[in-house]
Amino acid sequence: MDSVDRSWVAAVWPRPQAHDDKYSRGVVGIVAGSEAYPGAAVLVACGAARAGVGMVRYVGPRRAQDLVLAYRPEVVVHDPADASDRLPHASAWIVGSGVADHPGQDAVIGAALASGTPLVADAGALEACVRSRAAGARQTPPDRVLLTPHARELVRALAAIRHDVTLADVERDRAGHARLLAETARATVLLKGSRTIIASAGGAVVELEEAPAWLATAGAGDVLAGIAGALLASGLSAADAGAAASWVHARAAEAASGGGPIVALDVADALPAVIAELLLGS
């Protein structure tokens, strides 16, 4: 991947075939949201479902379960206590968006990190994932783990593995610090911002074109995590999933905005039409 443009994204985006079923198209497991932030669970689930994954499983507290089912009745929900005893089958996991202190969810996140399954680690799971991988617990290969910090989360993730940097340091060299985290944690890093950066553990770095400024809105990163998780579940590498998800996420924001303000759910709702236009035009 030298650059990310429409033709590249269309070439890598998964298309269902006649022989596919919901399992072969990919199953995403989600540990997100909480009693305090149940909306994060909805946004991740909507991002994954609208991006075209075959099935979505959600693990979280009852309040978040109810909200997820209100928006996405096709999602299969699991109680954290049951899921921590036996991790539900998933082709990829998305963990950390909007999580708070919940022992059951923490146990499921730990199980997902140790499962060897491809995963997206966002927000509340970033530091745990980085610490465990930096310490040598790398059941999932580097090209199947996608870390999705914004700049402040990148500072905290690096601090968790004893690299003390400031926000100003990161802003002066976003690509260099994304690469540092990727190399140290042996993972792929998607550094969110107006120009998203994808850094791989092997040292490769790709910078995407500037996204719409209206995309700087609460919950947009949760939708992005859902899209990326859907692509990981379909078999894409972490770098390809992160880059393709970021490109489509930005195009969905443009379509939803039309030049005006948007909220995160608008971006998720715009995904099917944007993806259809991408694939039909390729």
Please state, in angstroms and rounded to a whole number, the distance separating the CA atoms of residues 63 and 65: 5
Q: Which residue has the tokens 């490109």?
A: 247
Going 7 to 52 to 274 to 174, the CA torsion angle's sign is: negative
Question: Annotated binding residue at 70?
Answer: no
222 labelled binding-site residue: yes
The answer to whether the CB of 194 falls within 8 A of the CB of 217 is: no
Residue 72 annotated in ligand binding: no
Listed residue (7, 26, 51, 42) closest to 252, CA to CA:
51
193 is annotated as contributing to ligand binding: yes
On whether 150 is known to bind a ligand per the annotation, the reply is: yes
Is 26 among the annotated ligand-binding positions?
no
| 102 annotated to bind ligand | no
Query: Residue 196 annotated as binding?
Result: yes
For residue 265, what are its two tokens?
Answer: 């759910």
According to the annotation, is 221 in a ligand binding site? Answer: yes
Helix, strand or coil, per DSSP, at residue 73? coil
The two structure tokens encoding residue 157: 């993730």
Q: For residue 92, give the H/E element and its range.
A: strand 92-95
According to the annotation, is 104 in a ligand binding site?
Answer: no
What residue numbers does the annotated binding site cover?
40, 98, 150, 192-196, 221-222
What residue numbers does the annotated binding site for (6S)-NADPHX cover?
40, 98, 150, 222
What residue numbers does the annotated binding site for AMP cover?
192-196, 221
